[in-house]
Amino acid sequence: MDGEPLSTLCTPALVVDVDKVKKNAQRMIERCEKLGVQLRPHMKTHKTLECADIMTGGSRRCIVVSTLAEACFYADHGFDDILYAYSLPFDKVERCAILSERLELFQVLLDHPDALEQLKKRPLRDGRLWHVWMKLDCGNGRAGILHSEPEALRLAQAIAEEAGVQLTGVYAHCGNTYNCKGVQEIQAVAKETTSFTLQFMEKLKAVGITCKSSIGSTPSCSHPVQDMAKLSEVHPGNFVFYDVQQSLIGSCGVEEVAVRVLTRVIGHCPHRNQLLIDCGWTGLSLDGAGKLPTGYAVIEGHPNLKLLSMTQEHGRVEPISGKLDYSMYPLGSLLTLIPYHSCATAMMHPVYHVHSEGILVGKWIPTRGW
Ligand SMILES: Cc1ncc(COP(=O)(O)O)c(C=O)c1O
């Protein structure tokens, strides 16, 4: 209930520090303003209206989503200028067409000529154009057409020349910044991705095509390089929550992480020198694979505790060294987990409990599905 302390919550519970969320969002807005580049924040981490309002400064414009369910959710609540940044799924073309006909600016992304064929088969009504971003792989090694391949230029030209279709931009996601440690490594990847993207933009210009360009990830946009000012947009998302993973990469300090999972001690197992907690993988996710020195999460204020393993509804906690002092962890006592990957952890929860300085101020309900 609003006005109550966090300790009144049933556990496991995802709690969001709204002051940190606002601070993280504001910092990114200011960083992009200073750089002179448009911020198009990604909604995938939280998938809520409230957080989207904070990230867009209330404009409800210029966002990226990872699922069509997110796109529809935001469209239904008055958001526009939405980029569905996922290689066009052929089973969802009709739903994309309906959104394109309904919104002022709904944008899709593709990285294969067959996807363009799908759009050609479904011309939009009332003379509307399909707004298309082409996904470029600049070293991330996931979706996208390799920046150096001649096919990339050919596909961009085909999109630009197609009637009823507009090449809106080129999109490169530098997810390879997640392999970095420290600002120097992050900035090297940011620089390389920017440079490959800008080189591609030059190739487009040489054949008479101009459109937007966008790169980004939370690590690269937390420590942008000056060259990124030459891009049209950046598209980070995780920064609004951050997490332990980001603190290890060097994107943020652990004190900037805005989310926690509250859990309670539900068992003492002295024969194994372990505690049981009521947070299993349904409350935290298995992301991170337990590779932190403290296992699957950081247990706030207890640096000697490790979340060793989880089953669906149970977690096993043991000391990193020494014998557990069970008097410090009575049954029913609260522990606070800082998640390894906040996007994955948030996905496990149907409601986020929002607080300011430990006092509950509301609930955010995320959208789910694809
Ligand atoms: C295509 C795409 N764009 C943008 C983002 C946002 O990046 P980050 O999560 O590092 O903020 C992601 C994240 O996975 C993504 O997959």
Q: Could you write out the three-class secondary structure of the chain?
A: CCCCEHHHCCCCEEEEEHHHHHHHHHHHHHHHHHHCCEECCECCCCCCHHHHHHHCCCCCEEEEECCHHHHHHHHHCCCEEEEEEEECCHHHHHHHHHHHHHCCCEEEEECCHHHHHHHHCCCCCCCCCEEEEEEEECCCCCCCEECCCHHHHHHHHHHHHCCCEEEEEEEEECHHHHHCCCHHHHHHHHHHHHHHHHHHHHHHHHCCCCCEEEEECHHHHHCCCHHHHHCCEECCCHHHCCCHHHHHHCCCCHHHCCEEEEEEEEEEEHHHCEEEECCCHHHHCCCCCCCECCECEEECCCCCEEEEEECCCCEEEEECCCCCCHHHCCCCCEEEEEECCHHHHHHCCCCEEEEECCEEEEEECCCCCC
Encoding tokens for residue 48? 């809520």
pLDDT > 90? residue 149: yes
Protein residue whose Cα sits closest to atom 3 of ligand 1: 173
238 lines ligand 1 (CB under 6 A): yes
Q: How far apart are CA 41 and CA 312, in angstroms?
A: 32
| φ and ψ at residue 293, rounded to 5 degrees | -55, -25
Indicate whether 367 pLDDT > 90. Answer: yes
| pLDDT above 90 (res 320) | yes
User: How far away, in angstroms, is 68 Cα from ligand 1 center?
Assistant: 15
Q: What pLDDT is recorded for position 122? A: 98
Average pLDDT over residues 217-244: 98
Average pLDDT over residues 147-171: 97
Domains in the chain: how many in total?
2
User: 276: domain CATH number?
Assistant: 2.40.37.20
Residue 7 within any structural domain of the chain: no
Do residues 176 and 294 both lie within one domain? no
Residues 158, 53 within the same domain: yes
pLDDT tens-digit series, residues 335-346: 999 999 999 999
45 Cα to the center of ligand 1, angstroms:
9
Alpha carbon distance 297, 288 (integer Å): 8
Averaged pLDDT for residues 214-242: 98
Determine the average pLDDT of the residues in 258-287. 98
* CA 175 to ligand 1 center in whole angstroms: 7
Q: 165 and 98, same structural domain?
A: yes
Mutate to test the pocket of ligand 1, among 47, 107, 173, 221 (most ligand atoms within 8 A of CB): 173
Residues 208 and 298 in one domain: no
Q: Distances from the Cα of 171 to the Cαs of 7, 39, 233, in angstroms?
A: 44, 13, 9
Asked if residue 23 is part of any domain, the answer here is: no
pLDDT in tens, 90-113: 999 999 999 999 999 999 999 999
Please check whether residues 112 and 213 belong to one and the same domain.
Answer: yes
CB 238 within 8 Å of CB 342 = yes
Task: Flag whether 12 is in a domain.
Answer: no
- Asked if 170 and 216 sit in the same domain, the reply is yes
Q: For residue 6, is it within any domain?
A: no
Lookup: tokens for 278 = 């009521």
Tokens of residue 325, six digits: 């002092």
Average pLDDT over residues 243-251: 98
Asked if residue 224 belongs to a domain, the reply is yes
- The Cβ of residue 169 has, within 10 Å, a number of other Cβ atoms equal to 21
CA of 43 to the centre of ligand 1 (A): 9
Among 261, 270, 265, smallest CA distance to 341 is for: 261
User: What atom in ligand 1 is closest to the CA of residue 217?
Assistant: 10
Q: Are 193 and 187 in contact (CB under 8 A)?
A: no
Residue 24 lies in a domain: no
Does the C-beta of 217 come closer than 6 Å to ligand 1? Answer: yes
pLDDT digits (tens, 9 = 90+) for 17-27: 999 999 999 99
Q: Report yes or no on 53 lying in a domain.
A: yes
Domain that holds residue 274: 254-364
**Residue 233 and residue 194 share a domain:** yes
- In this prediction, residue 368 has a pLDDT band, given cuts at 50, 70 and 90, of very high
Ligand 1 geometric centre to CA of 191 (Å) = 17
**272 and 356 belong to one structural domain:** yes
Phi-psi region of 289 (alpha: psi -120 to 50; beta: other; left: phi over 0): left
Do residues 302 and 154 both lie within one domain? no
The alpha carbon of 172 and the centre of ligand 1 are apart by a number of angstroms equal to: 10
Indicate whether 51 and 150 sit together in one domain.
Answer: yes
pLDDT at position 1 is 86
Instruction: Please check the confidence at residue 228 and state whether its pLDDT lies above 90.
Output: yes
User: Does 31 reside within a domain?
Assistant: no
Q: What is the pLDDT of residue 30?
A: 97
Last residue of a domain, which of 211, 239, 267? 239
Q: Which two tokens stand for residue 177?
A: 């910044």
**Domain identity same for 185 and 99:** yes
The domain boundary residue, chosen from 239, 270, 285 = 239
Last residue of a domain, one of 239, 271, 303: 239
Ligand 1 and 85: CB distance under 6 A: yes
Residue 234 token pair: 């950046």
- The CATH number covering residue 123 comes to 3.20.20.10
Residue 192, strand partner residues: none
Q: Are residues 144 and 208 in the same domain?
A: yes
* Measured distance CA(170)–CA(156) in Å, rounded: 9
Residues 38-76: pLDDT tens digits?
A: 999 999 999 999 999 999 999 999 999 999 999 999 999
